[in-house]
Chain A
Amino acid sequence: MKGVILAGGSGEGLSPYTMKRQKETIGILGSAVLEYVINGLKKAGVKELIVVTNKERGYQVEEILSKNTEISFELVIQKSQGISGAVRDGLEKVDEDYALVAYGDIITTEDFYVNLMNAFLSSGDKSVFPLVPVSEGLTTYGLVKIEDNKIRIVNEGSTLALAGAYIIKKDYFDDILSYISELFKRDSARYFIWSGLWLDIGYPEDIIRAVEVLLSNKRNSYISETAEISKTAVLGKNIIIEDNAVVEDYSIIKGPAYIGKNAYIGSYSLVRDYSDVEEGAKIGAYCEIAHSIVGKDAEVDSKSYLTFTIVGDHAKIGASVVTLSYPYNKVIRGKVNKMGSLISPYSEIEAGKILQPGFRI
């Protein structure tokens, strides 16, 4: 079966960050969000991909795909509007009756896609839609209500949502949600509930939560032999330090934390509580990083404090920048009312700035 991956959305919930970087290519624990999807599809036996993306940032998607040589792909630039248009454009390239459509911004385990394939095989020629339980930011999901063997798309009155991947029969349709409803009405579709790890990356809190959940799932520490760890550095539990990363004197990696390839942690800095310093990122001396993600090749100068913050690739944070995170009552999907800053790739924050909760640039 062919896989159709949707990776062309505008990513409004993460704006303006997503003007610079396509959401599906954001790196989390060393892998782009899209790669979590690709690995899942590979595990489910998918060998060919059709990836729908946009003109502006399609090259970023292509870069990620090119890294994954075990699976062949065709890049499609989206012509029609919205998610319905993207699914239509993707399915147009499929020459079989069914395709596995996967939204490129879902982080889940590989078993999710395996179970989807299994559900399809046991359904006997029916489309299959996994559902997930949700409890925060309900209106931001495609909610459904269970009725008989069917589901009905609703705006409220449910805590079950479409899980951002499905096996669907190829047919003409204008609106994907109406088509899904129609398939259930015709008794040509089945659903199942996925209760495992599942995150839809739509808002900053989702990225912070993804780091938290993925690090929680990695129970053992891993320190690369090529990483340079100072003898005076203190390493806590549940940490990953990749190749050639440098952890300087008297710094503390308290964990759970991820330090990517070639990343640099300066002297006396503290990296703690579900933080992710991506490949090539540099954290100066005397910094504190908590519940935050510092993107590829980004720089954080000395004495800065990042909390519940996302720093985009190649961004520069000047010295003594403080991000505040509490209280912030506009968190849509988070379980805590805390949110630091969302700093777009390549942007710069002047030294000495104090950034208010929910700050975006």
Chain B
Amino acid sequence: MCGIIGITSLTDKNLAQITVSCLEKLEYRGYDSVGVASLQGSILEVRKAKGTVKEVVQKKNILSMRGNVFLGHTRWATHGPPSDYNAHPHTDCSNSIAVIHNGTLKNFKELKESLIALGHIFRSETDTEVIPHLIEEYRKKGFDTFTAFKKAVLDLEGSYAILAIVKGENRIYFAKKDNPLVIGMGEGTNFVASDIPAFLDYTKKVVIINDGELGYVTPTSIYIEDLRGNVIDVTKRIRIIDWDAQAASKEGYPHFMLKEIHESARAINDTINGLLSETELVEEITERLKGSDRIIVIAAGTSYHAGLYFTILLNRLGYTALPVIASEYYNINAKRGDSVIAISQSGETIDVLMGIRKMKEKGATIISITNVIDSAISRESDYKLYMRAGPEIGVAATKTFSSQLAVLLFLYAYLAKIDYKELLSAPEVIKNSISLGEGIAKKVGEELALQKSVYYLGRGLSLPLAMEGALKIKEIAYVHAEAYPAGESKHGPIALVEKGYPVVFINDGELTDLLENNLHEMKARGAKTYAISVNKRLGAETEILIKVDKDILSPFAISPIIQLIAYYASTAKSLDPDRPRNLAKTVTVE
């Protein structure tokens, strides 16, 4: 996912400032690198760098750029790490054409090879860069720019929203397929962007672009045709946004968190496909793990729970695996022969970074799992693995937790000699779990929202999931929650249980018989019991039961439900689950 904006105007007044303000609104779509192109007559200038909008605007003095036409791009890396070179816009060999793109081109390798054979010189690792070179190539063959642009688009396979500008032309060419793109009609200034809120401060007049359409905008006109060349009547597409569309980026969902829970299936799918494209690396890592004296898994918050899940699996396989809460890294005396798995969504978590630095000094091998490509943690690692969950806006981790589990279980499948194909149905399990459980999760969340305190109990592999459930409801619903190994609960915690005290059991189906005893202990003291169960019913008063074919899929059935319970507890208290108090998405201070 990336955010794109194009502006073409009769005047160059404040256009750089407007472009930056649009980019700030699009930053939720990606925030690893930013680039801007300006065009004034035959002067085309591109400034781009790795970093957030604020950082790049300052570093590259974007506000000093002048032009009647601007392109802006905020990137979320999928091909090639975030870097100054890989940031958009990309240009052709003669620096006459600048292109920004949101999407993935499946056939870019073939296109790149044939363009290189024709003498084109590429400067980035991105799929996008083929587009300006294709347009250049067709223009060389004598086609006018629009025909060249169309021919280039017809060569592309995959998904795209593309904006292109060419020296000497006061217009923006665009094409859309399977990625969002919409036109904003202003007075002498027209916009093309990934979403409406990007330009809503400047115009409320919108023209919808459908999949498979392309065209161009000038400051005063809009031209659209479909891929068969049929001209679209733009006047029929105009809509006036006379309602509050500032929240349109949530695509109807009231909160990013709920949207992101529902994106978990796609996130896991992309994560597994990413791993399948680098099985050699996975094999190399698993060989390294097999030869390690100890496997230390270091992470914080939600990532720690994913890590704990993995260490239980490793210990069961006979490895010596240590889960380490990142901020307590100084307790661990790592040594040569140890492997360290560092897990962090942002890849910037300071405690994890400090931990791996210390352990690396001592000679341990560092393997990182991050969502942000080429993050600080991945740069300092010997082996880098990535989740491919896409940007996560909600402060509470949701789809990235499921994606972390997917990466770790993929490694586990290799170590345990289980067919990794068993994981391919994980997205299906997530969707089924949400369909079956969201209504009940809402009911449970609303009930827990009324409580001061709650226990989450589990055994074995259910315990890290119980801990994650407790963390989620604390984070976003401010309900005190404590997770405990169910068997340990009678050594203290049960003293608090009285009539109506809520206890949530996480039952992944493996140790149901033992959990039943704990359930009876709680029921006998009047506890109000809930269960999230896989394959075997536990017998709680309120229970969500989800069936899965393979044991390895159990956490994917449970994770969306614990997240939804916390989400609905938060909304029942009229809180904003996307912005919990006192919390930051990325923790960069010790």
- Find out whether the CB atom of A196 lies under 8 angstroms from the CB atom of B251: no
Residues A74-123 near B (CB distance < 8 A): 111, 114-119, 121-123
- Find out whether the CB atom of A133 lies under 8 angstroms from the CB atom of B439: yes
- Find out whether the CB atom of A124 lies under 8 angstroms from the CB atom of B568: no
**Residue B250 at the A interface, CB < 8 A?**
yes
- Find out whether the CB atom of A121 lies under 8 angstroms from the CB atom of B441: no
**Residue A43 at the B interface, CB < 8 A?**
yes
- Find out whether the CB atom of A115 lies under 8 angstroms from the CB atom of B439: no
**Residue B229 at the A interface, CB < 8 A?**
no
Residues A237-271 near B (CB distance < 8 A): none
A320 — which chain B residues lie within 8 A by C-beta? none
Shortest beta-carbon distance from B200 to chain A in Å: 11
- Find out whether the CB atom of B251 lies under 8 angstroms from the CB atom of A159: no
Shortest beta-carbon distance from A352 to chain B in Å: 40
Contact string, B430-450, partner A, CB cutoff 8 A, digits 1/0? 011011111111110000000
A44 — which chain B residues lie within 8 A by C-beta? 243
Contact of A195 among B242, B243, B254 (CB under 8 A): B254
Contact string, B249-283, partner A, CB cutoff 8 A, digits 1/0? 11111110011001000000000000000000000
- Find out whether the CB atom of B211 lies under 8 angstroms from the CB atom of A133: no
**Residue A194 at the B interface, CB < 8 A?**
yes
- Find out whether the CB atom of A159 lies under 8 angstroms from the CB atom of B248: no
Contact of A196 among B195, B209, B247, B571 (CB under 8 A): B571
Bound together, the chains give a CA A147 to CA B430 distance in angstroms of: 10
Which residue on A lies nearest to B249, using beta carbons?
Answer: A122
Which residue on B lies nearest to A118, using beta carbons?
Answer: B248
Given the known A-B contacts A121-B206, A133-B441, are A194 and B254 also in contact in the complex, defined by CB atoms under 8 Å?
A: yes
B571 — which chain A residues lie within 8 A by C-beta? 195-196
B239 — which chain A residues lie within 8 A by C-beta? 1, 121
Bound together, the chains give a CA A275 to CA B159 distance in angstroms of: 55
B434 — which chain A residues lie within 8 A by C-beta? 146, 160
- Find out whether the CB atom of A118 lies under 8 angstroms from the CB atom of B247: yes
Contact string, B306-331, partner A, CB cutoff 8 A, digits 1/0? 00000000000000000000000000
Shortest beta-carbon distance from B568 to chain A in Å: 7
Bound together, the chains give a CA A116 to CA B567 distance in angstroms of: 21
Contact string, A121-149, partner B, CB cutoff 8 A, digits 1/0? 11111001010011100100000111110
- Find out whether the CB atom of B243 lies under 8 angstroms from the CB atom of A43: yes
- Find out whether the CB atom of B248 lies under 8 angstroms from the CB atom of A158: no
Contact of B248 among A121, A133, A135 (CB under 8 A): A121
**A interface, size bucket:** 35 or more
Given the known A-B contacts A125-B211, A159-B439, are A115 and B254 also in contact in the complex, defined by CB atoms under 8 Å?
A: yes
**Residue B180 at the A interface, CB < 8 A?**
yes
Shortest beta-carbon distance from A289 to chain B in Å: 25
B432 — which chain A residues lie within 8 A by C-beta? 145
Bound together, the chains give a CA A118 to CA B568 distance in angstroms of: 22
Contact of B252 among A115, A124, A138, A145 (CB under 8 A): A115
A148 — which chain B residues lie within 8 A by C-beta? 431
Contact string, A31-61, partner B, CB cutoff 8 A, digits 1/0? 0000000000001110000000000000000
**Residue B182 at the A interface, CB < 8 A?**
yes
A158 — which chain B residues lie within 8 A by C-beta? 435-436
Contact of A118 among B251, B258, B431 (CB under 8 A): B251
Residues B183-210 near A (CB distance < 8 A): 195-196, 206, 208-210
**Residue B240 at the A interface, CB < 8 A?**
yes
- Find out whether the CB atom of B258 lies under 8 angstroms from the CB atom of A193: yes
- Find out whether the CB atom of A118 lies under 8 angstroms from the CB atom of B250: yes
Given the known A-B contacts A121-B206, A195-B568, are A115 and B441 also in contact in the complex, defined by CB atoms under 8 Å?
A: no
- Find out whether the CB atom of B439 lies under 8 angstroms from the CB atom of A124: no
For the A-B complex, the count of residue pairs with Cβ-Cβ distances under 8 Å equals 117
**Residue B244 at the A interface, CB < 8 A?**
yes
**Residue B43 at the A interface, CB < 8 A?**
no
- Find out whether the CB atom of B211 lies under 8 angstroms from the CB atom of A135: no
B242 — which chain A residues lie within 8 A by C-beta? 45
Shortest beta-carbon distance from A181 to chain B in Å: 15
A144 — which chain B residues lie within 8 A by C-beta? 435
Bound together, the chains give a CA A86 to CA B258 distance in angstroms of: 33
Bound together, the chains give a CA A163 to CA B211 distance in angstroms of: 27
- Find out whether the CB atom of A157 lies under 8 angstroms from the CB atom of B436: yes
Residues B168-190 near A (CB distance < 8 A): 176, 180-182
**Residue B241 at the A interface, CB < 8 A?**
yes
- Find out whether the CB atom of A192 lies under 8 angstroms from the CB atom of B253: yes
- Find out whether the CB atom of B210 lies under 8 angstroms from the CB atom of A159: no
B210 — which chain A residues lie within 8 A by C-beta? 124-125
Bound together, the chains give a CA A100 to CA B338 distance in angstroms of: 61
- Find out whether the CB atom of B439 lies under 8 angstroms from the CB atom of A194: no
Given the known A-B contacts A121-B196, A121-B239, A159-B439, are A195 and B258 also in contact in the complex, defined by CB atoms under 8 Å?
A: yes
- Find out whether the CB atom of A118 lies under 8 angstroms from the CB atom of B442: no
Shortest beta-carbon distance from B442 to chain A in Å: 4
Which residue on B lies nearest to A125, using beta carbons?
Answer: B210
Shortest beta-carbon distance from A214 to chain B in Å: 15
A161 — which chain B residues lie within 8 A by C-beta? 439
Which residue on A lies nearest to B564, using beta carbons?
Answer: A133
Residues B429-474 near A (CB distance < 8 A): 431-432, 434-443
B511 — which chain A residues lie within 8 A by C-beta? none
Shortest beta-carbon distance from A58 to chain B in Å: 29
- Find out whether the CB atom of B208 lies under 8 angstroms from the CB atom of A160: no
A196 — which chain B residues lie within 8 A by C-beta? 254, 571
Which residue on A lies nearest to B212, using beta carbons?
Answer: A125
**Residue B245 at the A interface, CB < 8 A?**
yes
Shortest beta-carbon distance from B141 to chain A in Å: 32
- Find out whether the CB atom of B209 lies under 8 angstroms from the CB atom of A159: no
A135 — which chain B residues lie within 8 A by C-beta? 439-440, 442-443
| Contacts from A to B (Cβ < 8 Å) | 1, 43-45, 111, 114-119, 121-125, 128, 130, 133-135, 138, 144-148, 157-161, 190, 192-196
**What are the 6 tightest A-B residue pairs by CB atom distance, in nearest-first order?**
A159-B439, A119-B252, A192-B252, A118-B248, A125-B210, A133-B439
30 CB-based A-B contacts, threshold 8 Å? A43-B244, A45-B242, A117-B245, A118-B245, A118-B248, A119-B251, A119-B252, A121-B182, A121-B208, A122-B182, A124-B176, A124-B180, A124-B210, A125-B208, A125-B211, A128-B252, A133-B438, A133-B568, A135-B440, A135-B443, A144-B435, A145-B431, A146-B431, A161-B439, A194-B252, A195-B254, A195-B258, A195-B442, A195-B568, A196-B254
Known: A160-B434, A195-B567. 17 other contacts (CB 8 A): A43-B243, A114-B245, A115-B250, A115-B252, A121-B208, A122-B196, A122-B251, A124-B208, A124-B209, A124-B211, A130-B252, A133-B442, A145-B435, A161-B439, A192-B252, A195-B255, A195-B442
